[in-house]
């Protein structure tokens, strides 16, 4: 047991000295003590506690020697001196310990490093905050380089200036009274409410948004000695907050279904309009709710097998899907799904925007009935994802394809189109993108399942024409007899 205690004492990271309370002579020390004071083991055992105190501090120790002989716990802050004459400040805690034949006490010594003004200035100036140091007259004595980079002012523009003069020049009118009140509070000894956000006019006229932190030092009678102002540049954070605020308002006011989805398909967020569209009962809870709850069985299967792989490859998918309301009824929707990534490029979440197209689909259904006898079918081209949607019923009836596939990559669509007709289609798609045309009609050949070519009349017009690039080009394909 004694061997274990000796090992713990020697390896303790806190400098520790066992001493004789009668003479204050040093009986035993640990390695941390030798490192702190710079003595070797033989040298330090020839010393007493008095030898670790500089000359002036020895007189103070003589007046308080009883504290080291009798008290338990903190015996105060003291100046110590190492072997090379360097002085440093420590906190000392003393306790009595059990000894076989003699009374012994142990002193635990905590080094309290005191930064010089130069050291403190160096560390603060190399941190992420701009630094301003004011004297008791609020004249600027220290300015960090970071602050000058943010504002464009030189050291010559700032040194020696009074805070009130600088405020008149740098602070917009709406913040002048607030700055004056903060100066008055600091001068009067009020240390509260000295963290605040402030606009600063840079030299080029731009506005720097800053979070201000003030630390005031006072003498023993309460007179101001100095003020350290730490400045955090929060311009980008403020702009981001504003963008998030407006984006939140846009999302909350949008009439469309807008949601954020985790990679496991569970919901992070659904806007109020989205909740109304799917008619979920109040109150809406995200717990145990996933994309499976708002998509039809077929659409959820399509999401897992087609849409999700497309998102993982390209990051964006657009097309039509079928949603389900709370009562199980189906709701056709035009959807945009985007993948969002972490720094390591793993997907963090997906955003989903769905627009109710039930009215459009009903019109298409009626038109489909009218076209059934004319060998015609719908098609859609989504320019931003380069995908083409072809009516699977028309593909089967007119071109003989048995598959129910509806969505084709642009390259796949080109394989169905006669090589001599591809350039004309590409020309028309480019014209749509550049807004040179808003509708077209062209004849082209598409490949029948049996390998022969069938002449098709293709008509199209832009959907969503109110935006610069169409979200969808929708049209009709009709077999030419």
Q: For residue range 51-84, what is the model confidence (pLDDT) as tens digits?
A: 998 887 777 777 778 888 888 888 888 888 999 9
**What is the per-residue pLDDT for 437?**
65
Same domain, 103 and 148: no
Find, among 207, 211, 202, 205, the residue nearest to 154 by Cα.
202
Residue 70 sits in the same domain as residue 124: no
Structure token digits, residue 298:
């077929």
In a domain, 95, yes or no: yes
Nearest to 82 by CA among 141, 37, 45, 118: 37
Q: How many domains does the chain have?
A: 4
Q: Could you give phi then psi for residue 128, rounded to 5 degrees?
A: -85, 0
Residue-wise pLDDT tens digits, 454-476: 999 888 776 554 444 556 778 88
Whether residue 214 is found in the same domain as residue 266: no
Phi-psi region of 193 (alpha: psi -120 to 50; beta: other; left: phi over 0): left
Distance CA 225, CA 133 (A): 11
The verdict on 139 and 214 lying in the same domain is: yes
Q: Please list the alpha-helical segments (H only) found in 140-202.
A: 145-151, 155-158, 163-170, 176-187
Q: What is the pTM of this model?
A: 0.41
Asked whether residue 149 is domain-assigned, the answer is yes
Q: Which residue bears the tokens 């070519």? A: 453
- Point out the domain boundary residue: 177, 207, 235: 235
Q: Domain range spanning residue 369? A: 359-479
Instruction: Identify the helix (H) or strand (E) that includes residue 437.
Output: none
pLDDT of residue 465: 47
**Residue 240 counted as domain residue:** no
Q: Is 420 helix (H, G, I), strand (E, B) or coil?
A: helix
Task: Give pLDDT tens digits along the chain (481 positions).
Answer: 456 667 778 888 889 999 998 889 999 999 999 999 999 999 999 999 989 988 877 777 777 788 888 888 888 888 889 999 888 888 888 988 877 677 889 999 988 765 555 666 676 667 788 888 888 889 988 888 888 899 999 888 888 899 888 888 888 888 888 888 888 888 887 765 578 888 899 999 899 999 988 888 887 788 888 888 889 998 888 887 777 777 777 777 778 888 889 999 998 888 888 888 888 776 666 667 889 888 999 999 999 999 999 988 888 998 888 999 888 888 888 889 999 888 788 888 999 988 887 776 556 665 555 555 567 788 888 877 788 888 888 888 888 988 777 788 888 888 999 999 988 888 777 777 666 666 778 888 999 999 999 999 888 776 554 444 556 778 888 888 6
Q: Do 409 and 435 lie in a common domain?
A: yes
- Domain closes at, from 208, 235, 262: 235
Of 310, 330, 356, which residue sits at a domain end?
356
Same domain, residue pair 373 and 468:
yes
Same domain for 142 and 153, yes or no, is: yes
Confidence at residue 446, expressed as pLDDT on a 0 to 100 scale: 92
Residue 10 sits in a domain whose CATH number is 3.30.450.20
Amino acid 459: pLDDT: 82
475 and 368 in a common domain: yes
Whether 204 maps to a domain, the answer reads yes
> Is 150 within the bounds of a domain?
yes
Residue 244: inside a domain, yes or no? Answer: no
Q: Please indicate, yes or no, whether residues 341 and 271 belong to a single structural domain of this protein.
A: yes
Is 396 inside any structural domain? yes
304 and 271 within one domain = yes
* pLDDT given for residue 435 in this prediction: 63
- Contact status, residue 9 vs residue 32, Cβ threshold 8 Å: no
Relative to beta strand 73-81, strand 26-29 is: unpaired
Residue 43 and residue 20 in one domain:
yes
Orientation angle between helical segments 163-170 and 176-187, nearest 10 degrees: 160
> CA–CA separation, 413 vs 407, rounded Å?
9
Residue 248 lies in a domain: no
CA distances from 211 to 40, 238, 251, 422 (A): 50, 10, 29, 60
Residues 289 and 334 in one domain: yes
């Amino acid at each position: 047991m004694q061997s274990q205690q000796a090992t713990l004492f020697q390896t303790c990271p806190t400098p520790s000295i066992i001493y004789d309370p009668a003479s204050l002579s040093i009986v035993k020390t640990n390695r941390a003590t030798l490192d702190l004071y710079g003595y070797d083991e033989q040298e330090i055992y020839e010393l007493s506690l008095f030898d670790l105190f500089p000359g002036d501090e020895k007189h103070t120790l003589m007046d308080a020697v009883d504290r080291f002989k009798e008290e338990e716990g903190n015996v105060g802050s003291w100046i110590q001196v190492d072997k090379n004459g360097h002085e440093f400040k420590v906190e000392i805690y003393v306790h009595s310990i059990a000894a076989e034949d003699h009374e012994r006490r142990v002193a635990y010594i905590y080094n309290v490093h005191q930064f010089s003004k130069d050291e403190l200035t160096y560390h603060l100036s190399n941190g992420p905050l701009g630094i301003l140091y004011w004297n008791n007259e609020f004249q600027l004595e220290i300015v960090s380089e970071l602050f000058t980079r943010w504002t464009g002012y030189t050291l010559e523009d700032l040194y020696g200036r009074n805070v009130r003069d600088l405020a008149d020049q740098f602070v917009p009118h709406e913040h002048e009274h607030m700055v004056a009140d903060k100066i008055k509070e600091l001068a009067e000894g009020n240390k509260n409410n000295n963290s605040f956000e402030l606009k600063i006019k840079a030299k080029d006229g731009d506005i720097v948004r800053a979070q201000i932190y003030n630390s005031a030092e006072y003498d023993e009678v309460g007179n101001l000695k100095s003020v350290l102002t730490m400045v955090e540049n929060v311009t980008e954070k403020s702009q981001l907050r504003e963008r998030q605020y407006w984006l939140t308002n846009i999302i909350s006011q949008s009439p469309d279904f807008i949601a954020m989805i985790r990679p496991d398909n569970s919901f992070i967020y659904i806007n109020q309009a989205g909740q109304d569209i799917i008619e979920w009962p109040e109150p809406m809870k995200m717990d145990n709710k996933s994309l499976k709850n708002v998509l039809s069985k077929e659409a959820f299967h399509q999401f897992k097998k087609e849409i999700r792989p497309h998102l993982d490859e390209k990051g964006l998918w657009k097309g039509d899907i079928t949603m389900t309301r709370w009562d199980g009824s189906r709701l056709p929707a035009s959807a945009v799904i985007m993948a969002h990534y972490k720094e390591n490029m793993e997907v963090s979440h997906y955003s989903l925007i769905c627009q109710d197209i039930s009215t459009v689909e009903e019109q298409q259904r009626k038109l489909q009935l009218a076209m059934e006898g004319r060998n015609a079918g719908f098609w859609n081209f989504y320019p931003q994802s380069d995908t083409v949607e072809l009516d699977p019923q028309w593909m089967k009836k007119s071109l003989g394809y048995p598959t129910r596939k509806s969505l084709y990559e642009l390259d796949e669509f080109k394989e169905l189109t006669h090589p001599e007709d591809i350039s004309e289609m590409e020309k028309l798609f480019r014209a749509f993108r550049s807004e040179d045309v808003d509708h077209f009609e062209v004849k082209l050949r598409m490949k029948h399942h049996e390998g022969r070519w069938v002449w098709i009349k293709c008509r199209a017009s832009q959907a969503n024409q109110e935006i610069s690039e169409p979200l969808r080009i929708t049209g009709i394909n009709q077999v030419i007899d």
